[in-house]
Amino acid sequence: GIQVEQSPPDLILQEGANSTLRCNFSDSVNNLQWFHQNPWGQLINLFYIPSGTKQNGRLSATTVATERYSLLYISSSQTTDSGVYFCAVKPTIGANSKLTFGKGITLSVRP
Amino acid sequence: EPEVTQTPSHQVTQMGQEVILRCVPISNHLYFYWYRQILGQKVEFLVSFYNNEISEKSEIFDDQFSVERPDGSNFTLKIRSTKLEDSAMYFCASSEMGGRRTPFGCTFGSGTRLTVV
């Protein structure tokens, strides 16, 4: 099946810093989503971005589908940004509809 | 914004007991899913459901698991005889479309944390 690799696995930032989180995937996809898992375990949908660029406040994401990667940018980070960030994809080929998740990136933002 | 609702948020059960986790997907969505996340690990797919039948299931989804859409709004996951290793966060999700059609994003519920003791 499709492989999803996220990097770096852990990231520590000082409040106010910027960061870039990366997601590589092994096959062509027609669905890619970024999620933030908060300390209570809830999965918050950040972006649905199978291609192109989107922005939402301090967060933005870019997916270069032809090169099989996606980037999540966090600017002016806040302590509330802490948590685990997951990338999840669905391959273009095949009839299945499931999302395959990466292992996540654990972000800690220090005051 | 429409939400996927899951109940209960936490459930503690004794090993060997049956549990039913409940979900109300978004009303105009056609595809429904269950995923689970063992503590500290990644989110894993369990099963997808479309047109009142299972469309895909993973190796995890063995005979102990079943899903049902008992009415027009609810979607349930039943674990017949829980084991310690079933302890996890269980997420329900729904999407407008799936499969070979142009997909849309999946919306996830807040999860049910299941603890088997």
Query: For B55-72, how does the pLDDT look when each residue is reduced to its tens digit (9 = 90+)?
Result: 999 999 999 999 999 887
Q: pLDDT tens digits for B25-47?
A: 998 888 999 999 999 899 999 99
Q: DSSP string covering A41-84, please?
A: --EEEEEE-SSEEEEETTEEEEEEGGGTEEEEEE-S--GGG-EE
Task: Please give the Cα distance from B42 to A12 (Å, whole number).
Answer: 20
| Per-residue model confidence (pLDDT) at position B104 | 63
Helix, strand, coil fractions of chain B, as percent rounded to 5: 5, 50, 50
| Inter-chain CB proximity A86 and B42 less than 8 Å | yes
| Per-residue model confidence (pLDDT) at position A95 | 65
Closest B-chain CA to A88 = B43
Residue B97: count of CB within 10 angstroms of its CB: 14
Which of A25, A99, A100, A101 would best serve as a mutation to test chain B binding (most B beta carbons within 10 A)? Answer: A99
Q: List the single residue in B33, B105, B110 with the smallest CB-CB distance to A48.
A: B105
| Inter-chain CB proximity B33 and A86 less than 8 Å | no
Task: Please give the Cα distance from A83 to B101 (Å, whole number).
Answer: 33
